[in-house]
Structure 1
Amino acid sequence: MKKIILLMVLLGFAYTTNAQIITIQDQDTEQALELVTLISKSTNAYSTTNSKGQADISALKDAEKIEIRTLGYKTQIKSYDELQSSNFIILMEPSNISMDEVVVSATRWNQSSSDIPSKVISISPKEIALQNPQTAADLLGISGKVFIQKSQQGGGSPMIRGFATNRLVYTIDGVRMNTAIFRGGNLQNIISLDPFATEHTEVLFGPGSVVYGSDAIGGVMSFQTLTPQFSLDDKPFITGKAVTRYASANNEKTAHLDVNVGWKKWAFTTSITSYDYEDLKQGSEGPDEFLRPYFVKRQDSMDVVVTNEDPRVQTPSAYSQINLMQKVRFKPNDNWDFQYGLHYSETSEYGRYDRHQRTRDGAPRYGEWKYGPQKWMMNNLNLTHSKQNSLYNQLSVRLAVQNFEESRISRNFNDANRETRVEKVDAYSANIDFTKAIGSKHELYYGLEFVSNDVNSTGTDLNIETGVSQPGPSRYPEATWASYAAYVSDQFTINDQVLLQGGLRYNFIKLDAEFDTNFYPFPFETASLENGNLTGSLGVVYKPADDWVISSNASTAFRAPNVDDVGKVFDSEPGSVVIPNPDLDSEYAYNIDIGVAKVFSDVVKVDVTGYYTHLKNALVRRDFKLNGQDSIVYDGELSQVQAIQNAAEANVYGLQAGVEVKLSNGFGFSSDFNYQYGEEELDDGTTSRSRHAAPWFGVSRLTYGAQNLNMQVYMNYSGKRDFEDLPEGEKGKTEIYAIDENGNPYAAGWYTLNYKASYRLSDMFTVTGGLENITDRRYRPYSSGISGAGRNFILSLRANF
C-alpha cells in the first residue's frame, strides 16, 4: 500500500498542464449546468462539467468535432476553435426532445445512446430532485419504465420486461452488486443505495450478459455515485448540498449532507443521509381487503390481537436507515485517474408486512416476522489510464470487496420459539476493461472479470420465555461461488447512417457447497457445480436522418445456478417447503428487439420498442421428493416438498412506447406506456402467466418550466389482472390481493394523480414540494404485499453551496 501511495505522489510531481476552462449554462436562466459531457470521438477524449458548470477541456484542444450533451438539453456540436471564439462560454437550450445522450451501461464506456442497438434510458439528477424518491427503488420507478413491487415499506423489487430479482443485474460505480444468494423471490437489496448520493442512473433493457455475465437477462440497472471534483484554479474547490425532507404519509424525516473538497490533483467527497419512516398510511378509497383492522402485540408473555385504531395505517411497516459514503480521487496527470470509494448502509429491523397478514385456523399466523438490519459495505478502487497504444486507448481496472448481511426473524403466533436466520456474503470482484479504436471504423471493447462469493449462513432458535437458545437450521449451506469471464465487443461504423455492434463472452462458473444434515436428512452432504456459458449479441443501428433512428438487436443471456438455487431451505407459501437440489444447469435466454425513434419538427418525439424473449431450461420451483417422500413436517405443518429445477420454458413479449411533446410557453407533455405478456410452462405441460410480467403500466406528465420554477402534474397507472390471469403461484396469496365477487383474489387496476413543483429561491436555496395521490386512492401494485401511500404531502428544502 505504501508503494502505491509513493507512486501516486511521484506521478503527481510530474503533473503539469495549461488548463483551459469552459463554462456551460442554461440559456434561459444562466444557471450552471452540472454533468454536461463534452466528447471528441476522433481523439477519444472527454470532459464533464462540475457543479459550477465548469470543465477543463485541454484534452480536447484542436478537436474538429466536440459533442456537448446532457439530459434535458439540445445536443450541440462545436469545434475547439468555435468554443474559443465564444470565450469558452456555452449556453444550452432546454429541450425534452433528444435523440441521444451519453450513457455507459451498454459497454462500461461513454457512448451516445443513439449508437447503441439496445434500449437504454437515463434518469436525470434534475428529475430526481423534483420527484424526491424515498428509496433507490422509487428512484427507478419515477422513470415510468420500471415496475416496482414491494412486500414491505423497507423494500422495492424492480420488474423489467417480465423479469425480476436474480434475472436482473445491479451495478454501483461499475461493480456488480448481485450475490450468490440473490433469490427468485422479491429482493430489497436496492434500498441499500442512497438516491442523494447518486449522480447518474441508467437502465439497459434486455440481455446484457456479454458485458455483465450471469443474471443479465431482463436488464441492467447502473448507478453512478457522486464523483469527487477537482479545482480548476489555484483555490480549493468546495461544494456540496444539504437537504431536509418531510412526507406526511409515513411521517418521513430525512436529512442529507454531502461535501466536496478538491484541489488540482486530489479531491474528496463525503456523503451522509439519515432516513426515518413511521408506519405507512394508505388511501381512503379502494378495496377493503387492503385495510389493516388489527395487528399483533406482545403483552404479559402473550401474543394478543389488538384493534387498529386507524385501519389505513399499515402496522408494522416503520423502519429507519443510514447511508455513508467517502470517496477519494487522485489525478496525477492527464493520463491517470485513481478513485477509491467506501460505501456503507444499514437499516433498522423492519416488519415483513405481507407475512403479518397471513392467518392460520382463524388466528394470525405469526407473532413476529421481520427482517433484521440489512447491512451493506463496499470498498472499491477504480483506476483509469487514457493513452493510445497498441493494446488500448483507455484502460479501466475495478477492484472491489463487498460485505452483505441480512437476517430473518420469525415466531408463530403464541409460540415461544423465535427463529433467527442470518446470512453473510463476502463478495470479491476484479474487472479489467479496455477500449481501442481501430482506424475510423472500429471501436473495440473487451475485458476480463473475476467474481467470488463466500456464503456463511447460521440459524438460532431462542425460547423467549426461558431465554434458552440453541442452534437451528440455517437457510443456506456454507458455500463458495466463483465466476471467471472474458468478453469482446466491436462497434463497426459502416457509414454515417449504419452502425453494427456485436459481441461474445465466455463465462465459467464454479460452485461448492457443504450441507448441514443435522436438521434435515438430505441424501447428500456436499454439492459441486461447474458451468461453462457462451453468450453473444449482434445489433444494427440505422439513421436515415438526424431525427430518425431504427435499431434492432439479437442477443443471448444466461443465469448460472447460485447458492440460493442449489441450497435454500425455506417456506415459500403455507403448506410448501423448498429444499436443496444440487443437480442444476444454467438457464438461457434468447432475445430480439426492434426499436424506432423519430422526432417531428423538433416538437414531437415518438419512441417505440418491441421485444420477444424465450427462456430455456428455466430454473423454477416445482414439486420434488426428499428421500422418496413428497411431503415433510416443516415449522409444525405438513408441507409439500418443492425444489428449484430446470423444468420449464418461458416466453415474454412486450412493447415499450413513449411520446414527448414540446408545447409553447414552457409547457411540455410526455407519456410512457409498457405492456408485457409472459407465460411459463407448468408441470403438467400447460402454461401459466409469468409471475414477474406485471400488468400494463405507465406514467403521463404535463410539465412547465420557466426561470426558477419547475412544475409537473402527472398520473401513474397500472392495469387490472383478473384471477384467471394470475400466475398459478399467486392464486393462493389471498392476503395480498383484492377479492372479486366469486371470492377469488385479483390484482386491482389503479391510478394516482400527483403534483410536484420546485422553486429556486436563490443561487443557494431551492424549495421542492408536492402532493402525491391527490384523490387518496387505496391501491396495491401487482404482486405487492403492502399498499402504496395515500394522499401524501412532501416538502423539501435544499441548500447548494
Structure 2
Amino acid sequence: MKKTVLYLSILLISVTTAFSQEIQILDNDSSDPIPGVAVFNPDKTKSAVSDFDGFVNISGFRDNEVLIFQHISHAALQLKKSQIISAGNKVMMSQNASSLDEVVLSVSKFGQNKRDIPQQIVSVNSEDVLFSNPQTAADLLERSGQVYVQKSQLGGGSPLIRGFSTNRLLIAVDGVRFNTAIFRAGNVQNVISIDPFAVERTEVILGPGSVAYGSDAIGGVMSFYTKKPKFSFEDGLAISGNATVRYATANNEKTGHFDFNIGAKEWAFLTSVTYSDFDDLEMGSKGPDDYLRPDYVETINGIDTIIENENPELQKFTGYSQINAMQKIRYRPSDKWNFDLGLFYTTTSDYPRYDRLIRRRNGELRSAEWYYGPQEWLSGNLQARNTAYNNSFFDESVATISFQQFKESRNDRDFGDNILFQTEEKVSAYTVAWDFEKDWNETKFNYGVEYVYNKIGSTGQQTDVTTNIATRDVSRYPDGSTWQSIAAYASTTLKFTDDLSFQGGMRYNQVIVDATFDPTLYDLPFEEANINTGAFTGSAGLSFNPNETLGLRMNFGTAFRAPNIDDVGKVFDSEPGSVVVPNPDLEAEYAYTGEIGTTLNFENVVKLDVATFYTVLEDALVRRDFELGGETEILYQGELSNVQAIQNSGKAEVYGFEAGLEINFSKALQLTSQYNITDGYTDEDDGSRAPIRHAAPQFGNTHFIYNKGKLKVDAYVVYNGQFDFQDLAPSQQNNAYIYAEDENGDPFSPSWETLNVAAQYKLTDALQLNATLENITDQRYRTYSSGITAAGRNLIVAATYVF
C-alpha cells in the first residue's frame, strides 16, 4: 500500500512538473499565440514546435540550458530555461517587419509560411478591425482593398472577388463551410451574420480554393477565425475583457459590444455580445440626382399612399437592428489534446430590401412593401485538436463536428394590392471533417475527409392584409430537399531548397442533390430533380525567393461548383418581367485559373507586390431563357413574365491585375496603396460575347499612416472606376433603376472617390478612443451593382475599455 502511494506521488509530481514546464509563446504586440515556433538548443540535439495555441513543452531541456526560439514572421530569440520559468512560463516574440513572413492558416487549414504559398493571400487582424470600425463583416472585407462589396440594402453586403461572387465564392468560419445549398447566383448578403468584433483574423484567398474547401471556391475563399478563450498560467482564475461603444452620424448607428474571458489552467471561457441599431442611411449631397429618394410609400388607414420625401437624401426604410452572440469553451487536459466548442447566434430585425422599394412601373413606385424577415444564424462547432509528433501518420489532426441553422424570409406586396406574398426558408447544415498534417523535415503533407449535409425547409403563403387571412402558396424551394457533399483531399508542400518551394494537391468531391416537387403546388412537367455528380480538382504552384529582395510565385488551379438547390429547384423568383423556374438537367461548372505574381522588397523600405490572373469557366451555370411545358411566358403574380432557368451554357473568361505598394518613410510614417483591375466576358446564346456580371470596375485605395506611441492617424483615399453602358452585363443594363443615367438616357455606373481620415489615441493602457471622418467632401455615389447609395459625410466615434 505504501509503495502504491509512493508510486502515485512520484507520478503526480512528474505530471505536475511536466505541465509546469509547458510554456506559451506570444506575440509581443498583440499577445496572440504564435503557432509553429521552432524551439531548440544551440547544438540542435533537442527540439520542439509550438502548437496552434503557442504552447510547447520544454521539460526535455535542462534548467540552465539556453533555448533558441525561431519563427518565420518573428525575430529570433534566445533565453535560458530558468528565465522562462521565472517569467511565468511565457515567451514574448517581436514581429519581423515584412508581411511576407506571415503565418497563414486558410490554405492548408494548418499554419503555413506566407512566403511558401504560391497564391495571393489578404489578411486582416482584430487590431485592424478595431481601428477601421466596420459596421458589418462585409465592410470589414471591403476595407481590405482587394474585395469589392455590393449592397442591395443597408443590412447587407455581397463580396466580389476576381469577377466572381455569391455561390462562386466560399465563406468559412473557424474552418467550417458557411455557404448553404440555397446560396444563389444573385447577390447574397449572409456574410453580415458574422460579427467583426468576434473575429480574431480574416484571411482571403484570391483565386481557387477547391482542393481544401470543395464546391463553390472558384473565385476565392474568405476564412473568418473567431477569437479563442485564453488559459491562465497562474494559480486561480485569470479574468480579462473589453467593452466598446460606437456611434456613426450617417445612419445614426448605435453599437455596443463587450467580451470577457475567464481562464484557468485547463479550462477557458469567452463570451462576446454585440448589439447594433441603425436608422435610415443618408447619402451625400454632391452627385447624380438619379440616386435621390424623392418619394416613398406609406400605408395610411389601410390605403397605400405616395409621400413626398422632405429630405430626398435620406434613404427611407433602410434602418434595422442586429444582435450577435458568441460563447467559446476550451478544454486542454494535456499538452497533446485541445477541445474547442464554439456557439454562435445572430439575428436581425426585419430589414427592407431598398433596391426593390425604389423600382418603378409606369413612372410610379411598384412596391408598397418589400422586406426580409429576421436573418438568423445558429451554430455549434466542436473541434478536437491532437498533437502527436511521434505518430507515423500525423503530427497534428483536427476533428470537426458542426451544426448550423440558417433562417430567412421574403415578404413583398405591390402598391395598391391587398396580397402580401411570403416565403420562408430554413436550412439545417451538418458538417463532419477530419484534417491531418504530417511534417517530414522539408516536406509537409496535409490530407483529410469531409461530409456536408444540408436539408432545406421552405414554405410559401399569400396573406390578405385587409382580412389577415393566409392561404398556402408556392414555396421558393422544394420543401424537404437535400444537398450532400462527400470529399477527400491531399496536398503537399515541398521545400526543394531554402529559396524554392512547391505546393500542390488534389481533391475528389461527390455531390448529391435530391428535390421533390409537390404536385399540388407546382405545375411542372416533372416531380423530381436528382443530381449525383463527382469532380476532381487540383492545384500546383511554385514559390521562389532567391534573396530578401525578390519573390516570385506562379500557380495553376482548378475549381468547380456543383448545382445546389437554388440552381435546381428555385421557383418563381421574380424580377421585372421575368420568372425563374426549376431545371433538373444541370451539371457542375469547372474553372481553370493561372496566376503569376512577384514581390520586391527593398530593405523593408519599399515593397511592391503585383499579380496577374486568368480564369476560364466552362459549362457555366447561368440564367437563360427557358421553356416550361412548351411555354416561354407564364402569368406570375398578375404579370405576364418571360420564363428563365439556370442552365449550363457556354463559357466565361475573367482576367485581371492587382498591385500593392508599401513605402516605410520611417518607423512611424508609412504609405500603402492597392489597385485592382478585373475584366471578363461570357458567351451568349447567339454566339456574341457580353461583359461578365460580377467583374467590378477598377478600384483601390491609398493610405498615408502615422503611428507612434499612443497616436495613430490614417489619411486615405478610396477610388472606383466607371462602367459605361456597354461595360454593363445585359442583366445590369435591364436594371436601370439602380444606376445613373448618361447623356443618351442609358444606365451607367459613374466613377467616384472619397477622402477620409481616421485616428486612434490610447489615453491609458486600458482606454482607447477612435474617430473616423468618412467621405469628407460628401460625395453621392453607389458602388457598382448596388441598390443603395453609400453614406455621405459620416463621423464615427468609438471608445474601447480593456480590463
The TM-score by the shorter chain falls in which range?
over 0.9
Q: CA deviation at 1:789?
A: 0.5
Q: CA deviation at 1:57?
A: 6.5
Q: CA deviation at 1:404?
A: 0.5
Q: CA deviation at 1:602?
A: 1.9
Matches within 5 A, 1:220-259: 220-259=221-260
- The letter of the residue matching 1:232 is F
2:340 is aligned to 339
Q: Is the 8 A contact 1:169 1:216 kept in 2?
A: yes
1:627 is aligned to 629
Q: Deviations over 1:80-103 (max 9, x none)?
A: 6599699776563684x4322011
Q: What is the CA–CA distance in structure 2 between the aligned matches of 1:534 and 1:329, rounded to whole Å?
A: 36
Matches within 5 A, 1:254-293: 254-293=255-294
**1:170 corresponds to 2:171:** yes
**1:306 corresponds to 2:304:** no
Q: Pick one of 35, 45, 48 that aligns with 2:49.
A: 45
Matches within 5 A, 1:566-605: 566-605=568-607
Matches within 5 A, 1:227-626: 227-388=228-389, 389-438=391-440, 440-478=441-479, 479-626=481-628
SS state of the match for residue 545, structure 2? strand
Q: What is the CA–CA distance in structure 1 between the aligned matches of 2:734 and 2:48, rounded to whole Å?
A: 56
Out of 752-761 and 97-106, give the one that drifted further. Answer: 97-106
Q: Is the 8 A contact 2:25 2:34 kept in 1?
A: no
Q: Is the 8 A contact 1:657 1:673 kept in 2?
A: yes
Q: Is the 8 A contact 1:618 1:646 kept in 2?
A: yes
Q: Is the 8 A contact 1:475 1:570 kept in 2?
A: yes
**1:188 corresponds to 2:174:** no
Q: CA deviation at 1:648?
A: 1.9
Q: Is the 8 A contact 1:620 1:646 kept in 2?
A: yes
Q: CA deviation at 1:60?
A: 10
TM-score of the two chains, using structure 1 as the length reference = 0.94
Q: CA deviation at 1:441?
A: 2.6
Q: What is the CA–CA distance in structure 2 between the aligned matches of 1:517 and 1:20, rounded to whole Å?
A: 64
Gaps of 5+ in 2: 1-10, 41-46
Q: What is the CA–CA distance in structure 2 between the aligned matches of 1:210 and 1:472, rounded to whole Å?
A: 41
Q: CA deviation at 1:748?
A: 0.8
2:43 is aligned to none
Q: CA deviation at 1:450?
A: 0.2
Q: What is the CA–CA distance in structure 2 between the aligned matches of 1:14 and 1:725, rounded to whole Å?
A: 68
Q: 1:11 to 1:466 in 2, by over 3 A?
A: farther
**1:120 corresponds to 2:128:** no
- The letter of the residue matching 1:632 is I
- The letter of the residue matching 2:37 is I
- The letter of the residue matching 1:368 is E
SS state of the match for residue 249, structure 1? coil
Q: Deviations over 1:402-443 (max 9, x none)?
A: 0000000000111000011000000000110000113x2321
Q: CA deviation at 1:48?
A: 7.1
Q: What is the CA–CA distance in structure 1 between the aligned matches of 2:737 and 2:12, rounded to whole Å?
A: 63
Q: CA deviation at 1:297?
A: 0.4
- The letter of the residue matching 2:644 is Q
Q: Is the 8 A contact 2:557 2:594 kept in 1?
A: yes
Q: What is the CA–CA distance in structure 2 between the aligned matches of 1:270 and 1:519, rounded to whole Å?
A: 45
Out of 108-117 and 540-549, give the one that drifted further. Answer: 540-549
Q: 1:79 to 1:217 in 2, by over 3 A?
A: farther
- The letter of the residue matching 1:403 is Q
- The letter of the residue matching 1:517 is P
Q: What is the CA–CA distance in structure 1 between the aligned matches of 2:352 and 2:27, rounded to whole Å?
A: 47
Runs of 4+ aligned residues of structure 1 deviating over 4 Å after TM superposition are 10-16, 20-26, 35-38, 41-44, 47-50, 59-65, 79-91
Q: Is the 8 A contact 1:19 1:232 kept in 2?
A: no
1:7 is aligned to none
1:704 is aligned to 706
Q: What is the CA–CA distance in structure 2 between the aligned matches of 1:736 and 1:56, rounded to whole Å?
A: 56
1:727 is aligned to 729
Q: Deviations over 1:489-519 (max 9, x none)?
A: 0111111111111101000010100112334
Q: 1:89 to 1:224 in 2, by over 3 A?
A: closer
Q: CA deviation at 1:755?
A: 0.5
Q: CA deviation at 1:635?
A: 1.4
Q: CA deviation at 1:124?
A: 1.9
Q: CA deviation at 1:390?
A: 1.1
Q: What is the CA–CA distance in structure 2 between the aligned matches of 1:769 and 1:209, rounded to whole Å?
A: 40
1:794 is aligned to 796
Q: What is the CA–CA distance in structure 2 between the aligned matches of 1:679 and 1:500, rounded to whole Å?
A: 32
Matches within 5 A, 1:642-681: 642-664=644-666, 666-681=668-683
Q: Is the 8 A contact 2:350 2:373 kept in 1?
A: yes
SS state of the match for residue 166, structure 1? helix
SS state of the match for residue 731, structure 2? helix
Q: 1:541 to 1:362 in 2, by over 3 A?
A: same
Q: What is the CA–CA distance in structure 2 between the aligned matches of 1:566 and 1:605, rounded to whole Å?
A: 47
- The letter of the residue matching 1:742 is N
Q: Deviations over 1:305-344 (max 9, x none)?
A: 1111111111110000001111110000100000111100
Q: What is the CA–CA distance in structure 2 between the aligned matches of 1:126 and 1:606, rounded to whole Å?
A: 23
Q: CA deviation at 1:597?
A: 0.8
Out of 607-616 and 229-238, give the one that drifted further. Answer: 229-238
Matches within 5 A, 1:677-688: 677-688=679-690
Q: Is the 8 A contact 2:483 2:564 kept in 1?
A: yes
Q: Is the 8 A contact 1:463 1:469 kept in 2?
A: yes
Q: Is the 8 A contact 2:668 2:706 kept in 1?
A: yes
Q: Is the 8 A contact 1:11 1:333 kept in 2?
A: no
- The letter of the residue matching 1:270 is T
Q: What is the CA–CA distance in structure 2 between the aligned matches of 1:60 and 1:250, rounded to whole Å?
A: 59
Aligned residues: 778
SS state of the match for residue 17, structure 1? helix
TM-score of the two chains, using structure 2 as the length reference = 0.94
1:6 is aligned to none
Matches within 5 A, 1:130-141: 130-141=131-142
Q: 1:165 to 1:63 in 2, by over 3 A?
A: farther
1:151 is aligned to 152
Q: What is the CA–CA distance in structure 2 between the aligned matches of 1:19 and 1:320, rounded to whole Å?
A: 48
Q: 1:467 to 1:732 in 2, by over 3 A?
A: same
Q: 1:386 to 1:551 in 2, by over 3 A?
A: same
Q: CA deviation at 1:547?
A: 3.3
- The letter of the residue matching 2:313 is R
- The letter of the residue matching 1:746 is F
Q: What is the CA–CA distance in structure 2 between the aligned matches of 1:209 and 1:665, rounded to whole Å?
A: 39
- The letter of the residue matching 1:516 is D
Q: CA deviation at 1:234?
A: 1.1
Q: Deviations over 1:549-592 (max 9, x none)?
A: 21111110000000000000234521111100000000000011
**1:76 corresponds to 2:75:** yes
2:44 is aligned to none
Out of 511-520 and 784-793, give the one that drifted further. Answer: 511-520
Q: CA deviation at 1:361?
A: 2.2
SS state of the match for residue 724, structure 1? helix
Q: What is the CA–CA distance in structure 2 between the aligned matches of 1:23 and 1:40, rounded to whole Å?
A: 11
1:219 is aligned to 220
Q: 1:795 to 1:83 in 2, by over 3 A?
A: farther
Q: CA deviation at 1:134?
A: 0.2
Out of 164-173 and 360-369, give the one that drifted further. Answer: 360-369
Q: Pick one of 763, 770, 779 that aligns with 2:772.
A: 770
